[in-house]
């Protein structure tokens, strides 16, 4: 499988290639249009391709684009399995439900977030209740991003984080920055104050394509965490439960258990998309993982701030903005044949293992 068979250079190209391949390989295809348009006026939509029997009791949900521009890799992972002919080798009573670009605005506009600067992977909390507190993020927020993107501004933000880490530890710093916050709409990992369009859509997709299943598998493709080009698993099933053990059977105990993103203690993540699927499913078991592909490791902290700066402070069309946007894109989907070859190869194997695991469940 050649990387250029799977990777696209624009959201529109990725979308059309996904739809064409899904149709050619016998999927039932569904389109869900976003109310906003793309940067060039193009239609934005999430597409769902369903492979396998309509009455399958075991269904594997595979999602791309939760974090917008990370969808380039997620789309390639989905397309690779389709082009390989994975749907022709599905075990009996197993269906695959692929959601392409659950956050189409972020994918098309080159941002991790939704149109409201909401991190979709922190939005699946109960917004009718008080939001999870993260007071330490508030201590850092005003020092993390300045109106100008300069070497000095980057250094001052780093100094603020170093001061915090010296006082409270690097694990506490990672938790404050990554767990999710609900108080600063222009900040990092903002979870929002209400359900985003993509959040509501995922529940609709669940009801239409997964609600009659008795067992649900889950893969949510991401990039940024882990060794360069290598998969990094974040399983959010109960570590002492049978579903976590099953994920270990699918992908390997050493890959799934005890994982420390960027070498740090795992943050107390709030409002994950996986939590949303669990809530939609009720008593139906959901087993799976967020699968990351590593890019720049701990240095992604700067890139997350760069995403915000480009959104809130950059002057579009300037050489600085164009160069920094290229940096942002490369950080989440490196323009490197070796990285893209590796991610396609790993994604195919991970998907095969999940399909086989569903058959044995």
d(C-alpha 29, C-alpha 205), whole Å: 12
Low-confidence spans in the chain with pLDDT less than 50 = none
The verdict on residue 141 lying in a domain is no
* pLDDT of res. 1: 81
d(C-alpha 16, C-alpha 255), whole Å: 33
Instruction: Say how many C-beta atoms besides its own lie within 10 A of residue 253's C-beta.
Output: 11
The verdict on residue 153 lying in a domain is no
The verdict on residue 33 lying in a domain is yes
* pLDDT of res. 54: 87
Q: State how far the alpha carbon of 149 is from the alpha carbons of 34, 39, 116, 164, 354, in Å.
A: 32, 23, 22, 22, 43
Structural domain for 282, as ranges:
3-133+178-360
pLDDT digits (tens, 9 = 90+) for 348-359: 999 999 999 999
Q: How many domains does the chain have?
A: 1
Torsion, Cα of 70, 71, 72, 76 (10° steps): 120
* pLDDT of res. 333: 98
Strand partners, 37: 43
The verdict on residue 146 lying in a domain is no
The verdict on residue 19 lying in a domain is yes
d(C-alpha 323, C-alpha 151), whole Å: 15
The verdict on residue 355 lying in a domain is yes
The verdict on residue 167 lying in a domain is no
Query: What CATH number does the domain containing 308 carry?
Result: 3.40.630.10
pLDDT digits (tens, 9 = 90+) for 177-229: 999 999 999 999 999 999 999 999 999 999 999 999 999 999 999 999 999 99
The verdict on residue 171 lying in a domain is no
d(C-alpha 355, C-alpha 235), whole Å: 17
Residue 163 Cα to chain centre, angstroms: 30
């Amino acid at each position: 499988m050649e990387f250029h068979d799977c990777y696209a250079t624009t959201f529109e190209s990725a979308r059309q290639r996904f739809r064409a391949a899904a149709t050619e390989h016998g999927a039932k295809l569904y389109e869900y249009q976003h109310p906003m348009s793309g940067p060039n006026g193009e239609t934005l939509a999430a597409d769902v391709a369903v492979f396998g029997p309509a009455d399958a009791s075991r269904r594997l949900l595979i999602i791309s684009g939760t974090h917008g521009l990370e969808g380039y890799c997620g789309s390639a992972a989905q397309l690779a399995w389709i082009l390989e002919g994975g749907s022709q080798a599905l075990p009996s009573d197993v269906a695959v439900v692929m959601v392409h670009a659950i956050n189409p605005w972020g994918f098309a506009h080159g941002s991790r977030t939704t149109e409201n600067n909401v991190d979709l992977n922190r939005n699946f909390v109960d917004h009718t209740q008080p939001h999870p507190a993260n007071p330490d993020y508030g201590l850092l927020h005003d020092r993390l991003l300045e109106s100008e993107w300069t070497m000095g501004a980057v250094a001052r933000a780093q100094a603020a984080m170093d001061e915090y880490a010296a006082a409270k530890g690097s694990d506490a710093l990672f938790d404050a920055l990554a767990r999710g916050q609900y108080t600063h709409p222009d900040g990092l990992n903002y979870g929002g104050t209400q359900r985003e369009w993509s959040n509501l859509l995922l529940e609709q997709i669940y009801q239409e394509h997964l609600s009659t299943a008795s067992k649900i598998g889950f893969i949510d493709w991401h990039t940024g965490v882990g060794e360069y080009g290598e998969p990094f698993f974040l399983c959010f099933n109960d570590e002492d439960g049978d579903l976590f053990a099953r994920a270990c059977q699918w992908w390997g105990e050493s890959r799934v258990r005890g994982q420390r993103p960027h070498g740090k203690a795992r943050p107390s993540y709030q409002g994950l998309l996986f939590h949303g699927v669990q809530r939609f499913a009720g008593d139906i078991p959901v087993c799976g993982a967020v699968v990351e592909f590593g890019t720049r490791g701990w240095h992604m902290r700067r890139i997350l701030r760069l995403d915000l700066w480009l959104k809130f402070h950059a002057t579009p069309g300037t050489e600085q903005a164009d160069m920094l946007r290229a940096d942002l894109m490369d950080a989440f989907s490196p323009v490197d044949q070796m990285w893209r070859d590796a991610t396609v190869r790993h994604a195919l194997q991970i998907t095969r293992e999940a399909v086989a695991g569903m058959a044995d469940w």
